[in-house]
Structure 1
């Protein structure tokens, strides 16, 4: 029993010591808790430094490189767009110039066509005038020849009639003089 009482006492002393120790600690802080807290802080700091160099810096570099690539692509796209706009403007200008040139060529072709048409018409008029002049000249010659032929026939007929009426032969100079006088009286028509 004495050993049981001794144990009980010993347990009570340990409990009392623990209670006294607990009352001495402020907010339950003791050396072990402070050590654990400091150890945890150092581990967090080491973990932060480790993650910074292993994870944060490479990820930041990766993000910066990606941003730089995107900026470069955007700049190239803007430059390509500007170049495309410039080429489009040049293309439209060339189309306008080609349209003007085509209009000029068509206008020149029309003027040349009108000029050639006028030349052909003038040439045709000249040829027609020449043909008409030649035809008039030929008609005039034919008319004079026909008139002369008709006069000669009228003279022959008049001479033959005068010879029958007078029963004499009329000589040629007298016959011509009589015919010319008759023509003058008739107004020159045969």
Structure 2
């Protein structure tokens, strides 16, 4: 028969309290400290990201202001060039067109060269992956043969006993 005694209940309550204190000291507080540290790190990352975004917005505003100033200077230069003789204007436009064509052609050549280089690298990577896959397949076949010979040897020894 099950007996309920005051001392059993008292010792059980004391044991539970002792376990609670031990858990609180050695489990809950360290875990809480780790969580607080992680929370502080995350908040710092959010703050850093917000500061970086604010800096980027400031730089963008400066860039926009500079672009507007450049546009105004460009318009003033165009107006001044139009006031000059039409021959001078045609010469400048012709020179600018030739230079822009040269830059565009150079950029296209560089882009083609970069694309060819990326293609070559991709081909090298694919060849390497195929080689690795082939070597793994070859290794797996030899491993299977080794495993079969091991099983045969074990079964021969078991039959001998």
TM (norm. structure 2) is 0.49
Larger Rg: 1
TM (norm. structure 1) is 0.42
Higher RCO structure, 1 or 2 (CA under 8 Å, sep 6+)? 1
